[in-house]
Each structure stands twice: as structure tokens, then as C-alpha cells.
Amino acid sequence: MTRGPLFHEQTARQRIAALVDPGSFDELLPPPDRITSPYLGQLGIPVSFDDGVVIGRAKIGGKKIYLAAQVGQFVGGAVGEIHGAKLTGLFKAAARDRLPCVVVIESGGVRLHEGSAGEIAIAETMRAIFECRARKVPTIAVIGTDIGAYGGMGILSTCCDFRVMSEHGRLGISGPIVIEKWMGKKAYDSSNRALVWKTSGGKTKYLLGDADALVHDTADAVRDAIAKLLGKSSAVTLKSVKTRQKELARRLKRFGETADPDAVWKGMGVRDIARASLASGPEFAAIARRGK
Amino acid sequence: MSEKGHMTNTNSALRRQNKAQRLGRLGKLARGKFVSPDKVPQVLKRIIESGDILCLEGDNQKQADFLANNLATLDKKDLHDIHLVMSCITLPAHIQLFKKGMIRQVDFCYAGPQGTAVADLVKAKKFPVGAIHTYNELYARYYIDLTPRVALIAAAQADRKGNLFLAANTEETPAIVEPTAFSDGIVFAQVNEIVDKLPRIDIPADQVDLVVEAPYPMHLQALFTRDPAAITDVQVLMAMVALRGIYEKYEVQSLNHGVGFNTAAIELLLPTYGERLGLKGKICKYWMVNPLPTMIPAIESGWVESVFAVGGEVGMERYTAARSDVFFTGRDGSFHSNRAMGQLAGHYAIDMFIGASLQIDINGNSSTVSKNRITGFGGAPNMGCQPTGRRHPTKAWLKAGTEANPGPGSPPGRKLVVQMVETFQAGRVPTFVEQLDATDPSIRKALHGVAPVMIYGDDVTHIVTEEGIANLAACRSIAERQAAIRAVAGYTPVGLKRKKRETENLRARGIVQLPEDVGVRPAEASRSLLAAQDIKGLVRWSKGLYDPPPQFVDW
């Protein structure tokens, strides 16, 4: 019964080591370079020598890629100026070299201590992602931790070609506490973990089509999913954007007034909610498919 | 401390008359045994008399909260000089009784969630405590000098005759009802619902005087649910060390586990690490413990022969019913517990008690009391002690006894009493201290000279920390015991005073053992060894039979 480490419990560097071909990771701007936030120090907050994101070149299954992994333990993986510049540069390099780019997201969004710089950095990274997509360079976001992908990083993840999620991952724009603050505890109780995961967790995102793969909570499963997507890219065209807009409008019409997240699952074809709740990754995907 | 007051010279006929008078005062407030919820305050006023010994049912799990809340609506002019006897001061309503000055004396066991409020009451001299007891000690006194005149209890269901069904949480109800009912006291039960037919009868109607169907179900605390996701690698290391250095060494067959994450880690290592060590069938077969969700993988892997419990655990109802070959169940098939009998079993019939504590002093005494928080004991000291009335031998008992080098006038065996703690608590607070907070003069004064020590150092056989094991039972002097404790106390001020030569000497004699001395490689200690790494994993192991409480569900 002994299992390997769980992806959502690993650190960014452990995740990278477990995802890529052994010895293939070549870190760019590594900690010894000490490229740290110029703002945190001024506020008396500790800095990190990688500013909360590890970036570099690597190989998966022999294929060259660019890879980033955010460090959730440092300011919740939030994006500051340096952190964001590292991401921007990585996607630009991917576009230039026509190599797929993978970002393992673990972030609540922009770092409030350097808000404007962070917002701009995220906007620049999105632009770099669209450069990749215009050149048919695959971009993949991996969301598999409790911190999830929120705020600017939530939006950024949806700019990528594909999203690989596990059931631990959460994807959204406003975080649960923010929603509760604006809408009230009756509308959205952020301490109700079941509600939070049923509305923003990997399984629901997979059902709704926001996640392209739902995998087990292990680096092996994440790597296999990435490997399958490395050869694919989807161009952003006016037609694809319009199609997506229509889908979203349909979803809003269908579920916009729904208070019970189970109703969304049922609406998406899941018959046995209890069983589907306990299923993981591909098993869940199979149950959901069978229900349709 | 006899506190029966006016009852001391009352013969039973008078006591019976007095009971009839009290019930007679109810008039139309009751229809037979049944009382409507809105009449409860008036009923309480009539059946309780000032000066009574009053028992409020409530332990660390189950609470007669509807009756307690109604009692707290009364005032000093209605009732005063009450001698309150109860296991656990848990609810804000309990604290109200003190604030209103209705209580002349209180005898209790534990004040978990109200520990801070109790400490404040002590400081304000509004907490006239007789003593803090262990569970069985207090139940025993219900039969001797603290017999309740009125007992307010809680049950799951009553039938039309007043028979009671206690469901999974029998807990301490029989230990309260028996001494009260058989001394012409009044037993008043709140029930979740009144039904035509009970699944089984736990308390017969002729021991019950009054019943109210409460407008809300009794409070049940999920007390023993530990999320495997919160177990750390360090706790896994300690669990591995304990398994090899104690469970395997002594072949511990029967045991009690505390409620902490350390022992949860051990439970989750049995089907993985324990299996690899070939220990299945050799250790951990008979348990006196509540239905711990973290035991599910070990049970499903066939490690466990039987489990008897002092109480239920929220969410384990369907699982325990489905595993009636392991758990004790009623004729209806559902789970059964009994706090007094469970504590008795834990006292006499187990090889080992293993638990955690907030503070351990240099002599091995432990406590969960601090100056600002007075908690108490519960059941740990009933099990974490040497039962010198024990006569039956087991392998573990004899082996531990031999090691302790018994003298001509002492028992040949010893129960293993193990304290398993990290050297620091959360917030860098050291676990090991030169002197317990519990010995603070103000606390001792409030408790008539008794410092609230959870487990006495003389009873402890082993202390396990992330540094290793100290075998206190094998120490030959007080100085040696202190050196052994310092040796495993890590970087706490107590630990920093250790002397290298002393530690080496103790290690050479096997009194202090580091992880490598018991065959554990710290680098191997990882959460990935746990049979389940989160609550959902436990549900999967249970094949969907475990229904975790909502606060633990994220799916």
C-alpha cells in the first residue's frame, strides 16, 4: 500500500525533480544569483533568493521544454516584479525557441506588497503566452495544489492551451474568502471546504471543460498528462474565441442561478455523486463519461 | 470530603418521600414522564432543591446541552448552593451557573473548551472546586459520597414508556443513572426523539423519571478525528521509533491510544511499515479505544481483533456497524460504548497506554494545565498508571516488569505507560520543563494542595520524542531518570543541560535509544509511508462506510 509522495504536498523543486527526465533540469536565474524582490526588503519582509518561482530548461520523455514551478510556501506563491519577470522571460524564450512551456501554478495571484509591478508582470506574461500560441508553441498550466490558481494566475492559466488539474487543485479568479466578503456568508461560506472544492476544484473544472486533463495526485500522473499534450497546440482565432464565449453564455444560463454545486455535477452527467466524490483522476473522468 | 449535607442522616424512606414530593410539585407540567420543552425551566425549578448534589451529564463528547442551557436560564434566587458533579465543563451554559453564583461546590474531571474560562473563574474566586478527578474516580464517588439527587442526562431516543436508547454514545450515562436511580434520585433525560419502538433498550424505563424531546439534537463533539494530511514527517519518524523500540520489542498485544497525531501516525503505519516488519498478528490486536477513523486501514488489513470504546465518534456509525466482528455492537447491530467499563478495561486489561502531553517535567510528570488554562484529566490517568491490583500476566507485562527490576515487595509485571511528544509544541513552546505550570501556587491552593498532574513520573515507563526513547522504568535512580529525560529533550532548556558522558552511558545500557539504535533510518521517515494521507483516503479504505464530519470534507 506504500505510495509515492503526493504531488500537492511536494515543494516546487521536488515537483520539478519528479516531473522531468533525471538530471535534465537546468535552472535559469538560480538562487545563487540572488535576484530578489526590491520591495519586500524595504517593508521588512524576508526575501527569497528565487523570489518564489523556479524556472529553467528541462526534458520530458526526451523532449526539450521550458518549465516554471511556483513556490507556495513563499508569500503564497504570489507574483511580484521579479517573479513575474521570470515568468514573462520564460514564455518569451519558449516562443523564440519554439519549445513547449509548462508552468506549475501555486499562487493566489499578485503580491499585494508590489501590486502594480505584479499586475503589469502578469499582463506581460499573458502577452508572451499569446506569442507562443500564435507560433503554435504549446503552453500548459498544471494546477494541483490546495493554494490553486487564483487572481491573475487564475486568468493566466486560462490563457494557456491546456490545463492539467488534480482534484486537489483549485481554479478561480476571486478566492473563496474574497467571494464571501463581497457576497456574504449565506451566499458563499468559505469555511465550507466541500462547497469550495465543488465550485472551484479540479473535478468540477474538468466537468465544465475548464481543465483538459484530470490526473491522480502524483508527479508521474502529471508528467504523463503533460507528455501527451506536448505535441499539441491550439491557435487563438476569432472563431475559437466566439465559440468559447457562446459556451460560457450557455453555462451561465444553465447554472447561473444554481445554489447547489451537486446540481452542476448532475447537470454535467454525473449520476452517482457519492461515488464520483471519492473517485480520483481518470476514475472520476470515467464515471463522469459513463453518466453522459 | 463528604458533601452530602442534609442527606447524611436521611434514611431511605425519607429520601423516597422527598422524591415523591419533588415529582408531586410538577402537577400538570408533566404528562406521565413526559415534559414539553417550553416547560423545562419550571420543571427544573421544582425537581431540584437548593443544596442538592446535581449531576449534569456531559463528557468530552456527548452533552445534555438542552437541559444545561435551560438550567442556565434560572437564577440564584431559584436555585443556590448547588453541589455540581459532572465529567466535563464544556458549554458556555456551565460557566453561566458559576457566574450567577448558583454553585456551592463543583467536582469534575475536565474543562477542555472552557479551560480559559475556568482559569478566569478560579482567579475571580468564583470556582469553588472540590477536586479535579479522573473519570472512573468521579463515577466511583457517585456511589460513595457524591451520589446525585438529580441527574440531567442525554439519550438518542425514548419510547412511550421512557425506555432509553443511547446509540453509539452510551458513554457515561449508565454510570450516572445507576447511582441516582437506585438512591431515589431523579433522572431527567433529554432525547433527540420519542419513538414507538427503540432499536434496543440501553436504560430501562423504571430508572427514568422524566423525559423531554429536545428541540435540537444533543451536542456531539467529533473528538477523535485526526486528518492524516496534518501528520508531519517528524511524527512519522516518532511513530517508526515507537513501533520498533516499544511495540515490537515488548510484543504489545492490547493497548490504548491517545487522540493525538503521533499515535494516529502509528495506526496508519501498521498496514505499511508494520507489515514490512512482519509484525501483523504479533502486535496491536486488542484495543480499548474510541472508533478512531485512522484505524480503518489497520482494521481493513486484518490487524485488529477487537475494539472496545468509551464513546462513539461522529461519522463512524455505519463503519462500526458493518465491522461488528471487530467492534462491540448491540442486538440492533449498531455500535456500543461504555465509558466506565472502557476505563476499567484500560486500567486492568491492556499491555500499554500511549499518549501525548503539553508539558513534561524533569521527573517525568506531565500535565495539560497552564496558568491561564485549567483543563483537567479525563480518562488518561485511569489508563496511564500502574494498576497494582493486576494479577494476570502477559508477555509485555512480564518483560517490562523484569526490566524494572522488581523488589521483593513489588509486582512482577508492569504496564507500559508511554508518553510520546515532540520536544517543542506549536509556537516553539518547549514541552520539557524543569517545573510544571500545574504546580503554580495559585492553582495548588484552589485545588486544596493538589497539583493537577496528568501522569505521574513514577508511572511512566517510556518517553518517546523525535530524538529517541528514554526508558524510565529501567533507570536505577532519580538522577538517572532525569538524565534520561534530558537526553531525549532535544534543544529545549531541559535538553540543553544534558551531559554527553551521561547520555553515552545511558545509551550503552540501552536506557536511551536513538532512532538508529532501534533500526530506524530517519531519512526513511516520510508521510508517504502512511496508509492514508488524507480523510478521503480513510473514506476510500472504508469502502465509503465512513462519513467524516463536514469540517473534514473537501469534496
CB–CB of B527 and A194 under 8 A?
no
CB < 8 Å to B297, chain A: 1
CB–CB of B555 and A5 under 8 A?
no
Instruction: Sketch out chain A's domains with CATH numbers.
Output: 7-171+211-233 (3.90.226.10)
Q: What is the pLDDT of residues B327-354, one digit of tens each?
A: 999 999 999 999 999 999 999 999 999 9
Residue A290 — pLDDT band, cuts 50, 70, 90?
A: low
Q: Is A278 on the interface with B (CB under 8 A)?
A: yes
pLDDT, mean of residues B231-255: 97
Q: What is the pLDDT of residues B522-538, one digit of tens each?
A: 999 999 999 999 999 99
Does residue B478 surpass a pLDDT of 90? yes
In this prediction, residue B1 carries a pLDDT of 44
Q: Is A5 on the interface with B (CB under 8 A)?
A: yes
CB < 8 Å to A278, chain B: 536, 539-540, 544, 555
Q: What is the pLDDT of residues B296-329, one digit of tens each?
A: 999 999 999 999 999 999 999 999 999 999 999 9
Q: Is B550 on the interface with A (CB under 8 A)?
A: yes
Does residue A2 surpass a pLDDT of 50? no
Q: Which of A21-25, B10-14, B239-243 has the lowest mean pLDDT?
A: B10-14
Q: Which of B234, B258, B255, B233 is nearest to B246 (CA)?
A: B255
CB–CB of A4 and B528 under 8 A?
yes
Q: What is the pLDDT of residues B48-80, one digit of tens each?
A: 999 999 999 998 889 999 999 999 999 999 999
The nearest CA of chain A is from the CA of B46 a distance in Å of: 42
Residue of A2, A9, A197 with shortest CB distance to B555 = A197
Q: Closest-CA residue in chain A for B269?
A: A2
CB < 8 Å to A206, chain B: none
Q: Is B271 on the interface with A (CB under 8 A)?
A: yes
Residue of A2, A203, A278 with shortest CB distance to B539 = A278
Residue of A9, A191, A278 with shortest CB distance to B536 = A278
Contact B333, B311 (CB under 8 A): no
CB–CB of B533 and A274 under 8 A?
no
Q: Closest-CA residue in chain A for B549?
A: A194
What one-letter code names the amino acid at B227? D
CB–CB of B555 and A274 under 8 A?
no
Residue B11 — pLDDT band, cuts 50, 70, 90?
A: low
In this prediction, residue A3 carries a pLDDT of 64
In this prediction, residue B5 carries a pLDDT of 47
The nearest CA of chain A is from the CA of B483 a distance in Å of: 38
Average pLDDT value over all residues in chain A: 93
The nearest CA of chain A is from the CA of B227 a distance in Å of: 14
Instruction: Sketch out chain B's domains with CATH numbers.
Output: 13-220 (3.40.1080.10), 230-535 (3.40.1080.10)
Q: Is B528 on the interface with A (CB under 8 A)?
A: yes
Residue of B529, B536, B555 with shortest CB distance to A2 = B529
CB–CB of A5 and B553 under 8 A?
no
CB–CB of A197 and B554 under 8 A?
yes
pLDDT, mean of residues B393-400: 97
Q: A242: Cβ–Cβ under 8 A, 6 or more apart, which residues?
A: none
Residue of B528, B550, B551 with shortest CB distance to A2 = B528
CB < 8 Å to A203, chain B: 555
Share of chain B above pLDDT 70, in %: 98
The nearest CA of chain B is from the CA of A196 a distance in Å of: 7
Q: Is B533 on the interface with A (CB under 8 A)?
A: yes
Q: Which of B172, B164, B114, B118 is nearest to B142 (CA)?
A: B172
Q: What is the pLDDT of residues B498-521, one digit of tens each?
A: 999 999 999 999 999 999 999 999
Q: What is the pTM of this model?
A: 0.87
Share of chain B above pLDDT 90, in %: 88
Q: Is A163 on the interface with B (CB under 8 A)?
A: no
Does residue A86 surpass a pLDDT of 60? yes
CB–CB of A5 and B540 under 8 A?
no
Does residue B399 surpass a pLDDT of 90? yes
What one-letter code names the amino acid at B168? A
Q: Closest-CA residue in chain B for A146?
A: B554
Residue A289 — pLDDT band, cuts 50, 70, 90?
A: confident
pLDDT, mean of residues B346-368: 95
The nearest CA of chain A is from the CA of B254 a distance in Å of: 25
What is the three-state SS of chain A? Answer: CCCCCCHHHCCHHHHHHHHCCCCCCEEECCHHHCCCCCCCHHHCCCCCCCCCEEEEEEEECCEEEEEEEECCCCHHHCECHHHHHHHHHHHHHHHHHCCCEEEEECECCECHHHHHHHHHHHHHHHHHHHHHHHCCCCEEEEECCCCCECHHHHHHHHHCCEEEEECCCEECCCCHHHHHHHHCCCCCCCCCHHHHHHHHEHHHHHHCCCCCEEECCCHHHHHHHHHHHCCCCCCCCHHHHHHHHHHHHHHHHHHCCCCCHHHHHHHCCCCCHHHHHHCCHHHHHHHHHHHC
The nearest CA of chain B is from the CA of A197 a distance in Å of: 6
